[in-house]
């Protein structure tokens, strides 16, 4: 695989990468302090103990790239033919902080830093609003402020201190999303302490497995708790092939219906539609970290060709051949253009 990767649409589409991470120095400093003070949970201690403190080359290079919203990042985008990056504050955002005032301050400051970067590179960058779910009402306000700053959606890094967004306390966040008509990207973080034990014991808590399992659970909880019956136009984006839900969909739907019919769980209530409907009406998947033709085709087949978008997952994933894998997908040209460009243009109103 050796074609040149150029920006500007020479292959018939622009490449819009939709899960591209940045960090701020204040965010990283506070994550490191949390880990050093022994106040981070086991997952964040594992993840940011590595990216924040380890001298390994992957850790150091990744941290430097995360902090660069300037020429270094643009050069890396140019080198891999990425026309536009949809930027979001890297996982876990501010969601790991114990002090809510810290979370609000670093969150607002990160949003300001991102808005300034977008103003410097308005043709290359768009952004998602970071929030601090520790304070749902404040987050709702920040979502409204983010929309005014020109952000095109909201990023939440899965659970917040073991709490999931189907908890009614987070409803102000969904209300603000609905009022501003913005999509919600639910990105992984490390599993909470209640879940991580056998994963971290085997070195499988991070992006290799724990991320996807925990975030897939989060997306599924939102669907089965009826979030899309309450907010029928809400769009929720999941990375990494929508965290494997398309692969599982037949079984998820079959067992969900069986569970509802049997009344085995008080919390499993009938929904207006089956899970196929929500996956094809409200959920969107991206191809971050999943540069594999059969997997991408499966996601498109299960979710529909309007509901899968390209993502690189820079800087955690920066592999030119993964871009080529997308370019060379054996799918119709108009489907490929949707995947690489026009679905993102529609979802994020670019």
Could you give the residue numbers annotated as active site?
313
- Residue in the shown chain whose Cβ atom is closest to Mn ion: 313
Q: How far is 246 from 279, CA to CA, in rounded Å?
A: 8
21 binds ligand 1DF (CB under 6 A): yes
Least distance from C-beta 151 to Mn ion, angstroms? 17
| CB of 56 or CB of 101, closer to ligand 1DF | 56
Q: How far is 28 from 270, CA to CA, in rounded Å?
A: 43
Least distance from C-beta 257 to ligand 1DF, angstroms? 31
* 16 bridge partner residues: 84
Least distance from C-beta 266 to ligand 1DF, angstroms? 34
- Nearest to 205, CA basis, from 39, 214, 288: 214
| CB of 176 or CB of 299, closer to Mn ion | 299
Among the listed residues 91, 139, 225, 282, the single contact to ligand 1DF using CB under 6 A: 91
CA dist 13 to 9, 178, 222, Å? 5, 30, 33
Q: How far is 84 from 209, CA to CA, in rounded Å?
A: 28
Binding mask 146-185 for ligand 1DF (x = CB under 6 A): ----------------------------------------
313 binds Mn ion (CB under 5 A): yes
Q: Where are the alpha helices (DSSP H) in the chain?
A: 25-36, 42-53, 57-67, 71-79, 100-120, 136-149, 171-180, 193-200, 210-224, 227-230, 239-243, 245-262, 275-281, 293-303, 320-327, 333-337, 343-347
Q: Which does 207 bind (CB under 5 to 8 A by kind): Mn ion, ligand 1DF, none?
A: ligand 1DF
Least distance from C-beta 332 to ligand 1DF, angstroms? 28
Q: How far is 290 from 295, CA to CA, in rounded Å?
A: 7
Please give the helix or strand (H or E) that residue 16 lies within, else none: strand 16-22
80 binds ligand 1DF (CB under 6 A): no
The first and second tokens of residue 240, run together, are: 């990494």
110 binds ligand 1DF (CB under 6 A): no
| CB of 191 or CB of 289, closer to ligand 1DF | 289
41 binds ligand 1DF (CB under 6 A): no
Least distance from C-beta 207 to ligand 1DF, angstroms? 4
Report the interface residues with ligand 1DF, using CB under 6 A.
21, 47, 90-91, 188, 206-207, 239, 288-289, 313, 316
């Amino acid at each position: 695989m050796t074609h040149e990767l150029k920006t500007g649409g020479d292959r018939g589409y622009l490449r819009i990468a939709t899960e591209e991470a940045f960090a701020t120095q204040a965010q990283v400093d506070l994550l490191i302090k949390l880990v050093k003070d022994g106040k981070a949970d086991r997952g964040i201690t594992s993840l940011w103990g590595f990216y924040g403190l380890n001298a390994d080359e992957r850790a150091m290079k990744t941290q430097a790239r995360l902090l660069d919203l300037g020429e270094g990042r643009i050069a890396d985008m140019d080198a891999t033919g990425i026309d536009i990056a949809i930027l979001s504050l890297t996982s876990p955002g501010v969601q790991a902080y114990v002090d809510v005032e810290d979370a609000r301050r670093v969150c607002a400051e990160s949003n300001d830093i991102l808005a300034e970067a977008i103003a410097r590179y308005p043709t290359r960058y768009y952004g998602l609003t970071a929030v601090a779910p520790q304070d749902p009402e404040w987050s709702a306000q920040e979502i409204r402020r983010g929309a005014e700053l020109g952000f095109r959606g909201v990023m939440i890094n899965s659970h917040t201190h073991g709490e999931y967004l189907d908890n009614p306390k987070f409803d102000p966040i969904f209300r603000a999303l609905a009022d501003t008509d913005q999509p919600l990207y639910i990105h992984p973080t490390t599993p909470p302490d209640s879940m991580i034990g056998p994963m971290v014991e085997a070195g499988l808590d991070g992006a290799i497995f724990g991320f996807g399992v925990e975030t897939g659970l989060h997306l599924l909880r939102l669907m089965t708790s009826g979030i899309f019956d309450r907010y029928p136009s809400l769009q929720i984006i999941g990375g990494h092939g929508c965290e494997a839900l398309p692969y599982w969909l037949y079984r998820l739907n079959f067992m969900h219906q069986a569970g509802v019919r049997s009344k085995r769980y008080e919390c499993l209530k009938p929904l207006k539609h089956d899970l196929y409907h929500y996956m094809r009406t409200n959920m969107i998947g991206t191809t971050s970290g999943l540069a594999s033709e059969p997997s991408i085709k499966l996601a498109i087949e299960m979710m529909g060709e309007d509901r899968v978008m390209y993502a690189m997952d820079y800087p955690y994933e920066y592999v030119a051949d993964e871009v080529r894998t997308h370019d060379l997908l054996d799918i119709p040209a108009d489907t490929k253009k949707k995947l690489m460009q026009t679905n993102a243009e529609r979802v994020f109103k670019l």
